[in-house]
Amino acid sequence: MLPQMLSSYRSGPTPFNGLSVMRFSNTSVTRCQVMREIRRVVAPGGYVHLVTPFCHPFHEYPMDFRRFTIDGLKALADDLEVVADGWRTGPIATLLVIVIEYVKLMLPFRVWRGLSHVVCGWLLFPLRYIDLLLLRTSRARRIGNVCYVWLRKA
């Protein structure tokens, strides 16, 4: 979807100064085409923010193709300068999302699964603050939930 959206944008005298792409790689089949379009529509000196899940359950909609590490996102940067990288959510978020999906797996009806998602999410949410401590360690990247890179076009 993103390549078509960007390709319909004809950059004139004022291309974008910044572009933020959430869930970048897991729903995009043609990531090289996406990166080419991103480079095209971002102005020199402009920033690109790529965010993607790493340890995250499979989802069927909108399609789920792959996961990237921070190093994988940096490799896609090519000629864009890496300004910053890190984790949006860490190991506890990974654990909680898997627990919620596991609970949903046990339930036979869609309504129950939806309700359990809300209830478990609300009950377990406060535990996510533990990630504030864990994300300070280098080991958090082993099972981090969602990673990002900030890139700058020269």
pTM confidence score: 0.81
Residues 6+ apart with CB under 8 A from 25: 31, 50, 52, 65, 66, 67, 68, 72, 73, 76
pLDDT at 28: 56
Burial class (CB in 10 A: 0-12, 13-18, 19+), 52: buried
101-133 pLDDT per residue, tens: 999 999 999 999 999 999 999 999 999 999 999
Residue 113 φ then ψ, to 5°: -65, -45
Percent of the chain clearing pLDDT 90 (strictly above): 53
Report the C-alpha gap between 11 and 88 in whole angstroms: 30
The structure tokens listed for 154 are 């020269």
pLDDT at 146 over 60: yes
Task: Assign 56 a pLDDT band (cuts: 50, 70, 90).
Answer: confident
Sole residue written with tokens 């309504």: 111
What average pLDDT score do residues 63-85 get?
88
pLDDT at 38: 87
